[in-house]
Structure 1
Amino acid sequence: MNINLIMKQTITEMKAVVLRFSRAQPRWWQRYAKRCVEDQITVNAGYLAYVTLLSLVPLVAVGVAIFSAFPGFEETRVAIEHFIFNNFVPTSTDTIKEHISAFTGNANQMTAIGVSFLAVIALLLIRNVDTTLNRIWRIEKKRPLMISFAIYWMVLTLGPVLLGASIGMTSYIVSLVSFADQGIPGFSGAIIKMLPYLISMIGFIMLYTLVPNTSVSFKAAVPGALFAALLFELTKKGFALYISHFPSYEVIYGALATVPILFVWVYLSWIVVLLGAEFTVCLTQDMEAAGVDTCSEFDPPDAQGL
C-alpha cells in the first residue's frame, strides 16, 4: 500500500479520535479517574517503588558487569550515568552519585556467581512491572514461565547495551546539530532541550506496546507516551522546586535525607508510568468504540507483547 495513503488514513483516524475525545469532556476524565482508582495506582506505585529500590543495586551491578565485559564501553557507561543524573533525577546530590560510583566499583570485584544472584533479584523488578501493566490492561492470560524468563533475561542483558548505543547516537546527533547552530542561533540548544522528552517518549512507547501480553495499538501508545513524558517532566521540575525551596527532608533526616528523597522520586515516577498506561488503555477503548482499526500497517501482526 502507498505510504502516503497510509499516513493520510492514520491522520484521519487520529483526527476522529481527537474529536471524539474533545466531545467526551469532562466525562472522559471521570472514566479515566475511575479506572485509576479501581486499579489502585498509588498502591501499585508504592509497591513498584519498594521493589525498584530493592533491585537498584543489582541492576547497577549487572549493568556494570555487562559493560565490563566490553572494555570499549567504559566511556559509554560514564556518559549514561551523567545523562541520567542530569536529565531524569531532579536535584541529584553528590551523595547519590558517590553511592552509585561505590556500587559500580564493588560490582567490578564480584564473581560470576554473585552477579548471577543479583541478576535474579533484578529480574523480580521486571516481572513485577510486567504483572502490574497486564493488570491495568485487564490481561489474565500469563506467558509460559520459560518464555517469560527468556524475555526478562533478554531485557536485562540487552537493555544496558541498547541504552549505551542510544546515548552514543544522541551524542553524534548533538555534534551534528551544533554545526547547524552556526546558521540558526539557538537551534542546537532547542534540540538538546527536547532530547529528554524524546527519549522519555520512546521509552514509554516501548513500555506500553511491548510489555502487555496483548496487541497494543501504536496509535494509542503515542498519545499515551506523550502524556506520560509531559507529566514526567512537570513532575521532575515540581519535585526539584520543592526540594530546593522546602528542604524539610534535610532538616528531619540530616545526612540520611538522600534515602527518603530517592524513594519519593521513584514513587512519583512509577505513578507517572501507570497514569500513562491508564491513558493509553482509555484511548484504545475510544478507538475501538469509534470503529478505528487499532492494528495498522505499522503495528506488528498478531503482537502478543514482549
Structure 2
Amino acid sequence: MNITKKLKDIYTFLMVDIWSIGKGDVSKMRFLFYSILKKLLLAIEFTTTKRITSAAAALTYSTLLAIVPIFAVVFGIARGFGYNKYIEEWFRESFSSQPQVSEIIIGFVNSYLVHTKSGLFLGIGLLFMLFTVIMLISNIERTFNDIWQAKKPRSMFRTITDYTSMLLLMPVVIVITSGISIFFATIFKQIEDTMVIGSLAQFFLQLLPYVLMSGVFIALYLFMPNTKVKLSCALVPGILAGVAMQGLQLFYIHSQIWVSSYNAIYGSFAALPLFMLWIQISWLICLFGAELCYANQNMDDYAFKAKTEDLSHRYKMLLCLVLASRICRNFSEGAKPLSALKLKLATGIPIRIVNDLLYQLVQINILTEIPGGDKDGESLYQPAECITRLSVGTLIDRMEAQGKWSLTIDVKQLSSIAWKKIIAERNTYLNSQREVLLKDL
C-alpha cells in the first residue's frame, strides 16, 4: 500500500508539481536538476505523442533509397583523391556492426560507378541520385520543422542552395574526416609502445569516433531546422545522440549470438531487416535528440503543457488581440518590430502559443513577417496594413472567416425573419468593434 502511494506521489510530482517550481522555491542545484528532468520528460513526451516512430520509419525508407547514390558520390570523390582504398576501410569500420550490409553496399556502389560510364545510364543515374538525395534531405527537414514548430519551409532559392551545398560538401567532409582518422591512427600506431603517451593516444583514438559522431549530430540539429537554433542548446543533445549511436554500434557488434540465430532462420536475407532495424533505431536516436534540443532551447515551465488547439475560441481570440495590439502600438510609437521571444516576455504568453498565433495572424494578413530580421536571425513582426485600418472588428472577422467552405447548404433556409435578425445583429456587432483600433487597446 505504501509502495503504491509512493509511486502515485512520484507520478503526481512528475506530471504536475515539478512544473510549478520556480527558482526561488528550491536551491540552485536542485532547480538545475529539476530543469534537466523536465527537459527529459518533455523530450520523452514529444517523442511518444508526435508519432516520431512513424517519422523514423519514413526516413528509414528514404535512407535505403538514397544510401547507394550518396556513397557512390563519396567513393567517386575519394577515388579522385586517391583515397579509394582507405574510404572502403573506413566504410567497413563504420558499418562494423553490419558486415554483410557493408559488403553488399560496396558491391552496389562499385557497380553503380562502373555503369555510369555509359552516357544514357549516367543521365538517368544522376537524376535518380538527385531525386533520392533531395527526397531524403527534404523529409529530414520536414520532420525537424515539425519538431521545432517551424511553420514555413525554406524558400525555393534557399532549398536549392542549401541542398546543393549539403550534397557537395557531405562527401568532401566524409573523405576529410576519414583521412584525419587514418592519419591519427597511423601516428598513434608508431608511438603505441610508449608507456604514457601510447595509452593516452589509444584513449584519444577510441574517443575520436564519439567526437566525430557527436559533431555530425550537432551540425544536423543546428542547420537542418528552418529556424534559429542556439549552439549551446544543441551541444548536449548532439553529444548524447553521438554517444548513443556509438553505443548502438557496440550493441550490434557484441550481439552476434542473437544475429547468428537470426541468420539461421532467414539466411542471407537476414541482412536487410537487421540493417533496416539499425537505421530506424538510429533515426529514433537522432529525432529524440532533436526533441531534447527543442526542449532545451524553449524550456518555459508550463509552456509546453499548453497547446493552442486546446484553447477555447474565445481565449484564442483574446490572445490574438493582445499580440496584435502590442505590435500595432509598438509600430505607432516608431519602435523596432518585435520578435516572438520579445512578445512572449512582454505578454507572458507561452512561446509555443505565441508562435502559433503569430502564424495565424500572418495568414489572415493582420501581421507581416520579416524573416531573419533580428540580429539573432529570428523573424520580426509588424502590421500588414495601415494601423488606422486595423481594428478589433477586422481581426475578429478575419479570424472567424479563416478556412474554407467545404459544404454546400441551401441558403434559402437562412432567409427567415429570425435568421435576418441574427445576421443584422452580427453586422452591428462587427461594425461597433471596427471603431476600436488595435493600436488603442
Shorter-chain TM band: 0.7 to 0.9
The answer to whether structure 1 residue 140 and structure 2 residue 151 are counterparts is yes
| Aligned residue among 74, 81, 85 for 2:92 | 85
Taking structure 1 as reference, are residues 184 and 228 closer, same or farther at Cα in structure 2, changes over 3 Å only? same
Query: C-alpha displacement at 1:109, in angstroms?
Result: 2.8
Structure 2 Cα separation of the partners of residues 287 and 201 of structure 1 = 26
Structure 2 Cα separation of the partners of residues 90 and 237 of structure 1 = 9
Taking structure 1 as reference, are residues 45 and 288 closer, same or farther at Cα in structure 2, changes over 3 Å only? same
Aligned residue number for residue 210 of structure 1: 223
| Aligned residue among 104, 123, 126 for 1:113 | 123
SS for the counterpart of 2:126 is helix
| Aligned residue among 217, 232, 256 for 2:269 | 256
- Identity across matched positions, percent: 22
Structure 2 Cα separation of the partners of residues 288 and 145 of structure 1 = 36
Taking structure 1 as reference, are residues 212 and 58 closer, same or farther at Cα in structure 2, changes over 3 Å only? same
Taking structure 1 as reference, are residues 18 and 263 closer, same or farther at Cα in structure 2, changes over 3 Å only? farther
Structure 2 Cα separation of the partners of residues 49 and 98 of structure 1 = 18
Structure 2 Cα separation of the partners of residues 301 and 163 of structure 1 = 32
Q: Is the Cα–Cα contact under 8 Å of residues 92 and 99 in structure 2 kept in the other structure?
A: no
Deviations 1:263-294 (A, max 9, x none): 111111111111111111111123899x9xxx
Q: Is the Cα–Cα contact under 8 Å of residues 68 and 108 in structure 2 kept in the other structure?
A: no
Query: C-alpha displacement at 1:248, in angstroms?
Result: 3.9
Show structure 1 runs of 5+ residues with no match. Answer: 1-15, 292-299
Aligned residue number for residue 11 of structure 1: none
Structure 2 Cα separation of the partners of residues 25 and 84 of structure 1 = 36
Taking structure 1 as reference, are residues 303 and 253 closer, same or farther at Cα in structure 2, changes over 3 Å only? farther
Aligned residue number for residue 82 of structure 2: 74
SS for the counterpart of 1:74 is coil
Structure 1 Cα separation of the partners of residues 256 and 206 of structure 2 = 22
Query: C-alpha displacement at 1:27, in angstroms?
Result: 4.3
| Aligned residue among 139, 144, 167 for 1:156 | 167
Structure 2 Cα separation of the partners of residues 18 and 263 of structure 1 = 42
Q: Is the Cα–Cα contact under 8 Å of residues 68 and 105 in structure 2 kept in the other structure?
A: no
Structure 2 Cα separation of the partners of residues 38 and 211 of structure 1 = 22
Please tell me the residue identity of whatever aligns with 1:93: P
Taking structure 1 as reference, are residues 176 and 251 closer, same or farther at Cα in structure 2, changes over 3 Å only? closer
Taking structure 1 as reference, are residues 25 and 221 closer, same or farther at Cα in structure 2, changes over 3 Å only? closer
1:33-48 superposed matches below 5 A: 33-48=44-59
Aligned residue number for residue 328 of structure 2: none
Aligned residue number for residue 219 of structure 1: 232
- Pairwise CA RMSD: 2.9
Count residues with an aligned counterpart: 275
Q: Is the Cα–Cα contact under 8 Å of residues 217 and 284 in structure 1 kept in the other structure?
A: yes
Please tell me the residue identity of whatever aligns with 2:176: A
Larger proportion of helix: 1
Structure 2 Cα separation of the partners of residues 20 and 208 of structure 1 = 26
